[in-house]
Amino acid sequence: MKPTTLQVELGDRGYPIHIGAGLLTQSALYAPHLTGRIALVTNDVVAPLYADRLLASLGPAGSDAIRVILPDGEARKDWSSLERIYAALLAESADRKTVVIALGGGVVGDVAGFAAATYQRGIACIQVPTTLLAQVDSSVGGKTAINHPLGKNMIGAFHQPRVVIADTATLATLPPREFAAGLAEVAKHGAIRDLEFLAWIEANVAALVARDPVALEHAIRRSCEIKAAIVAQDERETGVRALLNFGHTFGHAIESALGHGTWLHGEAVAAGMVLAARLSARIGRIAEADVQRLEHLLAALGLPVKAPAITPERWMEFMGRDKKNQGGRITFVLLDALGRASVVRDAPDSALREVLAAA
Ligand SMILES: NC(=O)c1ccc[n+]([C@@H]2O[C@H](COP(=O)([O-])OP(=O)(O)OC[C@H]3O[C@@H](n4cnc5c(N)ncnc54)[C@H](O)[C@@H]3O)[C@@H](O)[C@H]2O)c1
Ligand SMILES: O=C(O)C(=O)C[C@@H](O)[C@H](O)[C@H](O)COP(=O)(O)O
Ligand SMILES: [Zn+2]
């Protein structure tokens, strides 16, 4: 299969997304911006698998790279990892021409991206996503962040990468639970924007779960197309970009209430999308059959569809801190139909409490 390239249209901050098997070994071809020293940021799971291969493909710039290897895990998407990156950049006298390469999943991408956004007030970043979730979602769009114990992604910045290089061959080593977590964000893109894509996912569940390369390539490309088009319209989430948060008001509350890393992000988003769909049905925006259809698809993709036990007070505490909220009202992304969503700021509290009570 030939590699595909999409463009995120953001004027002089626009960039290509390259998708294909084996791109890691041709990185120099896909990253012509390497005019400064490279700072490779990865973690202790991904480094032994892919760091040498990536750096070897970059020639002398690769051998001279600063290497920062973070401890693995969502729990380490925090100050300590950020501090390690800053310390390494400073110890090596990295300058404003230094290019951060984030090699790994969404955790590495978000924290390395935030370090790049803030080091010396901003240096270039290249995203090399190696999880399905990162290839379909987190490497694109420029949201970077670390978590705070009181909330997900609470400290961060918008900082677009210069290029995204998604080598689909890296997905072969991804554990099944992590792979399923990526499928949650794929389904989200269909649910909010593209009923035809959602139906394609339903028809191709077996191929996707079996990691069929043709099916996977389509899922990644269509997800990136949908996300890139939304980001191009609303880079800083003043409007339509919030639709990409479908399932996240509930999902982020699950992650934070249980402790970051207890449920995977994609798992929490899957259960969160079911709750958001139920709330949509409860206030008459969609039919109960639509909720069941989405729930059935997510379960078939190997994802949890039932939220964990969380007290109503804890739900409200974490959802009360969601970044979409305005004027103290919890904001939800709800479905108007499968394939179409809206931002809703006036969902009745009674309906929300009923949905949570039945969760
Ligand atoms: N910035 C955004 O727009 C955005 C979008 C979605 C999610 N996110 C964030 O992304 C994070 C979740 O990302 P994730 O699901 O990639 O999790 P992750 O980064 O923790 O990666 C999942 C696991 O897979 C390992 N791994 C990575 N690549 C591998 C490979 N090829 N083979 C074997 N193991 C591999 C990782 O070390 C980790 O253990 C969350 O923090 C979430 O908030 C950000
Ligand atoms: O890119 C976006 O915009 C998204 O909302 C994509 C989400 O999948 C992602 O989890 C994002 O990090 C959530 O952003 P947040 O602003 O709710 O922290
Ligand atoms: Zn997400």
| Global ipTM | 0.99
Dist. CA 321 → ligand 1 center (Å): 23
pLDDT digits (tens, 9 = 90+) for 32-77: 767 899 999 999 999 999 999 999 999 999 999 999 999 999 999 9
| CATH code for the domain in which residue 90 is found | 3.40.50.1970
How many angstroms separate the CA atoms of 50 and 200, rounded?
A: 32
Q: Where are the alpha helices (DSSP H) in the chain?
A: 27-30, 46, 52-56, 60-63, 79-91, 106-118, 132-133, 176-193, 195-203, 205-209, 213-233, 248-258, 265-282, 288-300, 312-319, 349-357
| CATH code for the domain in which residue 321 is found | 1.20.1090.10
Check: CB of residue 17 under 8 Å from CB of residue 234: no
pLDDT digits (tens, 9 = 90+) for 88-120: 999 999 999 999 999 999 999 999 999 999 999
Could you count the other beta carbons within 10 Å of the beta carbon of residue 204?
17
The band of 308, judged by pLDDT with boundaries at 50, 70 and 90, is very high
Q: Which atom of ligand 2 is nearest to the CA of 252?
A: 17
91 among annotated binding-site residues: no
Residue 15 shares a structural domain with residue 105? yes
Give the domain-ending residue among 173, 196, 225.
173
Dist. CA 273 → ligand 1 center (Å): 19
Check: CB of residue 231 under 8 Å from CB of residue 256: no
Residue 167 shares a structural domain with residue 245? no
Q: What is the mean pLDDT of the chain?
A: 97
Give the domain-ending residue among 127, 152, 173.
173
The protein residue with its alpha carbon nearest to ligand 1, atom 11, reads: 106
Residue 206 shares a structural domain with residue 298? yes
Could you count the other beta carbons within 10 Å of the beta carbon of residue 175?
10
Provide the annotated active-site residues. Answer: 121, 143, 185, 227, 237, 241, 245, 248, 252, 265
Residue 208 shares a structural domain with residue 234? yes
Q: Residue 78: CB within 6 Å of ligand 1?
A: no
pLDDT digits (tens, 9 = 90+) for 229-247: 999 999 999 999 999 999 9
Which range of residues forms the domain containing residue 279? Answer: 181-357
Give the domain-ending residue among 134, 157, 173.
173
Q: Can you read off the two tokens belonging to residue 331?
A: 């904001």
Residue 215 shares a structural domain with residue 136? no
pLDDT digits (tens, 9 = 90+) for 272-295: 999 999 999 999 999 999 999 999
Residue 13 shares a structural domain with residue 150? yes
Number of domains in the chain: 2
Q: Residue 304: CB within 6 Å of ligand 2?
A: no
How many angstroms separate the CA atoms of 180 and 187, rounded?
A: 11
